[in-house]
Structure 1
Amino acid sequence: MADSTILDRAMGALVGGALGDALGMPTQLLSPARIAELYGHVDDFVAPFADHPVSKGLLAGTITDDTEQALLLGRILVVSGERFDHRRWVNALLDWEREVKARGSYDLLGPSTKRAIDAINNGVPAEEAGRSGDTNGAAMRIAPVGIMMPLEPLDAFLAKVAETCRATHNTSIAIASAAAVAAAVSRGVSGGDWRAASDSAVAAARRGAALGHWVTGGDIASRIAWAQDLVRGKVTGDAIRLITDLIGTGVASQESVPAAFAVLEVAGGDPWQAAVISANLGGDTDTIGAIAAGMAGACTGFSLLPQQHIARLVGIDMSEVRALAADLVAARVAKTGSGKDAAA
């Protein structure tokens, strides 16, 4: 596959994620009923209501922590080289939080990341700080690893996923979740469609669950497969109810990550539809949207994303995103000789 096509898929992952994030920004933390009451059916960027608990004051189309942290992780991956720089990563997250506080944002570090960074600042080694992190923060920002790393050899792929999770989300559930999302992105970047990406995700999650500190919770690989089967063939309204009522849309990895794969199924791999479905779910809508639309974008490419919506995104520098995508693709090509790996 030509490098230009790989770059298009890489851009699709990053910008698709931004679309899902921005569309879900005003609906995050709300119930489906409250979303319908305030906004009707969300199918375009809207501004949050005045007293929104985390999004108040943001303009319609504004990205949040999901996109900002994904781009931040991507930059740390590029400058780290072969060995991920945990200290640089932790300091970058702290600098990011200070910056968003200065901007007056209420969308700050998630519970697992915040707890881990506090522990590191109190002298706990990075390898130990993330041993209780099981929420979706690792999965929400993992797309750059999927862009940079070919799926094969799978052990090397999973090792890189786990390495980036170690400081904040060093648990079996979080690593399995991040591995699933990264695998879907990597499969898409190498030319796979969304169905192939889902298959790779389940396989990676199954293997990734053996890494990190074991914590109790539903098996991620099994829940992804179950979630997609649950909504397969359902009309969107019924699928949304099934996702909300049975899969769950909270910050727990075993809810939001399978929910994102269910959204991918209902959307038929269409990135914008994935973003729209996610925005109306309730709960952690921006994160589910970022994950689902990012995976879909990796499988379609930037050129097939809705350019009229991309032009209205707020808080993202597309030239910086393109430069980052190019650096991540260059690292991938250096590992394989081409962006297409055996799993594609």
Structure 2
Amino acid sequence: MKDDRLYDRIKGGLYGGAIGDALGGTTEFMTPQEIRAKYGYLKEIIGGGVWQLEPGEVTDDTMMTLGVAEGILENPAAPMELIGRKFMEWYETKPKDIGNIIRRVFEHYKGDWFEAAARTDQELGRSGGNGSLMRCLPAALAYSNLSEMERVTKMQSDMTHYDKRCSEACLIYNRIAARLLRGEEIRSAIRSEVSGTEYEAYIEEKPDCEPSGYVVHTFRWALHLLLDSSDFNEVVQQAANLGGDSDTIGAIAGGLAGIYSGYQAIPSAYSEVLLIKDHLDDVSMRLYRLRLGE
């Protein structure tokens, strides 16, 4: 192992996202009041919820993240076709949870992802969901070259989300991730990358918006949790207890928190319960080797 710390961060990012997803999947679409009445303050990955998850089961957030990762791993120079193939293979398994925008894009896809995304935006009158932000992290993990990372980050977003606010959020997110992979302190990394963006005015205060699937609301909450929490556990637990789109907010915030803390600092009570941990282990190592040029 040439750089144990880099590997620990890459693996922490993938696991952090999956843990936030699995923990928040229990409380998705609930209100904070409903969560308190049923669970008190949820701290454990127990499954259930609207999707009737098995304990340790993840949702579309993690599975699409792995699709992006595997597409990049198979063809780092031109991953779009392979990412799309991974998406469609996953879609054909009839997953429990899939966002409305992404489902519509899949239905429209006839060989041109950008055309399918544009048609979906036109039909729905919107495509500003969080479905590309939730899965963009592998581009930051895979590419050490910033311009290459940004090219793939934007491309994977544009495949399904026509609204430029989605690709903008993905770029900010992965620039933060790139800083964390280099060892920068998390609050410094966030403040540096939101400076001059629409998010700069919001990060110092608790969001006054719902924890919804709208990409701007989702990202505001994820950034707030990262700035407001003292450790990885607090980030993903706060996300889960928000309700709303808690699995996606948990996945997005958990990915950055996992990079910053590193895999070794993530409690085994979280990492060991994930049903796809072997898959995460494999992809983590392959992303690490790709980043090193092996």
Distance 1:294 1:3 in 2: 20
Q: Deviations over 1:112-160 (max 9, x none)?
A: 2222222223x6x32332233321111101111111123x54x433222
SS of 1:26 mapped into structure 2: coil
Indicate the SS of the match to 2:92. helix
What displacement does 1:321 show? 1.8
What code does the residue aligned with 2:280 have? V
The whole-number CA distance in structure 2 between the counterparts of 1:310 and 1:327 is 19
Aligned to 2:133: 139
* Alpha-carbon spacing, 1:332–1:184, altered in 2? closer, same or farther (3 Å): same
Structure 2's unaligned 5+ residue stretches are 122-126
Q: Output the amino acid matched with 2:155.
A: E
Matched, 1:62 2:24: no
Offset of residue 14 of structure 1: 0.4
Aligned partner letter, 1:6: L
Contact 2:42/2:240 (<8 A) preserved: yes
How far apart, CA to CA, are the structure 1 residues paired with 2:277 and 2:271?
11
Q: Distance in 2 between matches of 1:47 and 1:171?
A: 32
Residue 222 (structure 2) aligned to one of 228, 251, 260: 260
Deviations 1:236-269 (A, max 9, x none): xxxxxxx4xx13211110111111011111113x
Displacement of 1:47: 3.5
Per-residue deviation, residues 63-90 of structure 1 (Å, max 9, x unmatched): 111111111210011112211233x322
Q: Secondary structure at the match of 2:281?
A: helix
How far apart, in 1, do the equivalents of 2:188 and 2:293 lie?
A: 24
Contact 1:188–1:300 (Cα < 8 Å) also in 2: no
Question: 2:277 aligned with 1:317, yes or no?
Answer: yes
Aligned to 1:215: none
Distance 2:193 2:102 in 1: 23
Contact 1:227 1:259 in 2 (8 A): no
Sequence identity, in percent? 25
| Matches of 2:202 and 2:276, distance apart in 1 | 32
1:196 maps to: 188
Partner of 2:88: 94
Measured in 2, the distance between the counterparts of 1:226 and 1:76 equals 36
How far apart in 2 are the matches of 1:308 and 1:31?
Answer: 26
Alpha-carbon shift at residue 311 of structure 1 (Å): 1.4
The separation in 1 between residues aligned to 2:46 and 2:177, in whole angstroms, is: 27
Q: What is the CA distance between 1:13 and its match in structure 2?
A: 0.2
Instruction: Tell me, yes or no, if structure 1 residue 229 matches structure 2 residue 204.
Output: yes
Secondary structure at 1:46 match in 2: coil
1:128 & 1:63 partners in 2: Cα distance? 29
2:171 corresponds to: 179
How far apart are 1:2 and its partner, in Å?
5.1
**Aligned counterpart, 1:162:** 154
One-letter code of the match for 1:68? M
CA shift in 2, pair 1:80/1:171, >3 Å: farther
Structure 1 equivalent of residue 22 of structure 2: 22
Is the 1:162–1:170 Cα contact (8 Å) retained in structure 2?
Answer: no
| Alignment check: 8 A CA contact 2:70 2:83 kept | no
Give the letter aligned to residue 327 of structure 1. Answer: R
Partner SS, residue 222 of structure 1: coil
Unpaired segments of 5 or more residues in structure 1?
Answer: 207-220, 232-242, 336-344
Maintained 8 Å contact 2:130/2:166: yes
What residue is the counterpart of 2:289 in the other structure? 330
User: Are 1:117 and 2:106 an aligned pair?
Assistant: yes
1:42 aligns with 2:2: no
Correspondence for 1:282 among 226, 240, 243:
243
Deviates most, 37-46 or 134-143? 37-46
Instruction: For residue 316 of structure 1, report the CA deviation from its aligned partner.
Output: 0.9
SS in 2 for 1:229: coil
- What is the identity, as a one-letter code, of the residue corresponding to 1:117? F
Per-residue deviation, residues 150-186 of structure 1 (Å, max 9, x unmatched)? 3x54x43322211222221243101011112222222
Shift of the 161–23 alpha-carbon distance from structure 1 to 2, 3 Å rule, reads: same
Change (3 A) 1:112 1:201: farther
After TM superposition, the structure 1 = structure 2 runs for residues 287-298 of structure 1, keeping only pairs within 5 Å, are 287-298=248-259
Distance 1:200 1:160, change over 3 A: farther
Instruction: Please point out which of 101, 107, 127 is paired with 2:97.
Output: 107
Q: Which amino acid aligns with 1:195?
A: R
Shift of 1:200: 4.7
2: CA distance between counterparts of 1:12 and 1:222? Answer: 28
TM-score by length of 1: 0.77
Q: Which has the higher contact order (CA 8 A, sep 6+)?
A: 2
Amino acid of the structure 2 residue aligned with 1:257: F
Does residue 1:126 correspond to 2:102, yes or no? no
- How many residues align? The count is 287
By how many angstroms is 1:23 displaced? 0.8
The 1:47/1:163 distance shift into structure 2, 3 A limit, reads closer
